[in-house]
Amino acid sequence: MADLVETPILLTGEGWDGYRLLDSGHGRKLEEYGPYRFVRPEPQAMWTPRTKDWQAHGEFVPASDDDGGGRWHFNGRVPKDGWPLSWQEVNFTAQCTPFRHLGFFPDMAPVWDWMDRQLEGVADPQTLNLFGYTGVGSLSLARRGRVTHVDASKKSVAQARDNAALSGMNDAPIRWLVDDAGKFAAREVRREKRYDGIILDPPKFGRGPNGEVWRIEDGLPGLVTDCRTLLDDKSRFLFLTAYAVRMSSLALAGLLTEAFSGLPGRIEHGELAVREQGEGGRILPTAIFARWVNNESER
């Protein structure tokens, strides 16, 4: 039986040449993406910025209501079609999107490292990336073995394919699928498929390619149940993240504990974060997570 580890874990990204968190405070953060600097909203940065004069190429200003939205305001030239960045051997395009993101989530870097370690020693592992976005995580996993990448956005999957080309990984063993994550997982259960690892990075709200409505509170329990069916006692991990939700990592861990009661290993939970660069850099929380890890994979 998978045991719950009650003490939370903090997974902190330290930044790299392609990305750095420079400063944060007063509900905003200043980040560096390659040669460009941007200011974005960050409600959890409730402290005072370390520096007063934030020089940036652009800032995302949110809408005045609670329904999201907003727009970018630029103070310098920023390539409309994006610019190249890299993480380890994976190359990709960063771009200012209408959703305030820049084409990837830098706080996932320690997660990509962790998944890579879990797959050590597995011959030709098969992994599943649901809500795979622009594919940086899938390209990282593909260095170990076969990957099935699923996202409801045709544009995101096209960007993921472009990122594969930028990385010289056109021939990598990746299936790129535009599909509803829940429906795909349910079909894989009926096909009696099996995976060595699964990563779930669901949005709080979204729509599938045929207008399917996704709400994390409604859809996540059933999806986790299906993902559990796609794993067995030889599998290595499941990693689940959640952003901008009113719930605790313990809630995610409780869901996994129930679903994974028939498997060995343990359930861990905690927060993802990014550390500011420089002396005295503070830790900025970004998301909550829960994960199942098979103890056998660490022997």
The answer to whether 243 and 211 are in contact (CB under 8 A) is no
Q: pLDDT per residue over 37-60, tens digit each?
A: 999 999 999 999 999 999 999 999
The answer to whether 283 and 20 are in contact (CB under 8 A) is no
What b/e sequence results for 122-148 when a residue is b if at least 16 CB atoms lie within 10 Å of its CB, and e otherwise?
beebbbbbbbbbbbbbbbbbbbbbbbb
pLDDT of residue 65: 58
Share of the chain above pLDDT 70, in %: 97
- Nearest CA-CA partner of 133 in 114, 108, 113, 170: 108
Long-range contacts (CB closer than 8 Å, 24 or more residues apart) made by 211-219:
212/152, 212/180, 212/182, 212/183, 214/152, 214/180, 214/181, 214/182, 216/242, 216/245, 219/182
pLDDT level of residue 159 (50, 70, 90 thresholds): very high
The answer to whether 111 and 241 are in contact (CB under 8 A) is yes
What b/e sequence results for 53-83 when a residue is b if at least 16 CB atoms lie within 10 Å of its CB, and e otherwise?
ebebbbbbeeeeeeeeebebeeeeebeeebe
With a cut of 70, say whether residue 67 has pLDDT above it. no
Distances 98 to 60, 80, 95, 154, 226 between C-alpha atoms, Å: 9, 12, 10, 16, 32
Q: Give kind and range of the element (H or E) at residue 291.
A: strand 283-293
Q: How far is CA 109 from the centre of its chain?
A: 9
pTM: 0.94
Q: pLDDT per residue over 244-280, tens digit each?
A: 888 999 999 999 999 999 999 999 999 999 999 999 8
d(CA 81, CA 93): 9
Read off the tokens for 47: 């402290």
> What secondary structure does DSSP assign to 41-60, as a single string?
E-TT--S--S-S----SEEE
With a cut of 60, say whether residue 299 has pLDDT above it. no
Distances 58 to 49, 100, 196, 245 between C-alpha atoms, Å: 18, 11, 41, 27
- Nearest CA-CA partner of 256 in 219, 293, 287, 285: 293
- Nearest CA-CA partner of 40 in 114, 92, 106: 106
CB contact set of 120 (below 8 Å; sequence gap of 6+): none
Read off the tokens for 291: 């994960």
The answer to whether 43 and 27 are in contact (CB under 8 A) is yes
The distance in angstroms from the start CA to the end CA of the chain is 17
pLDDT level of residue 214 (50, 70, 90 thresholds): confident
Q: When comparing pLDDT for 57 and 215, which is higher?
A: 57
Distances 174 to 77, 107, 164 between C-alpha atoms, Å: 35, 23, 9
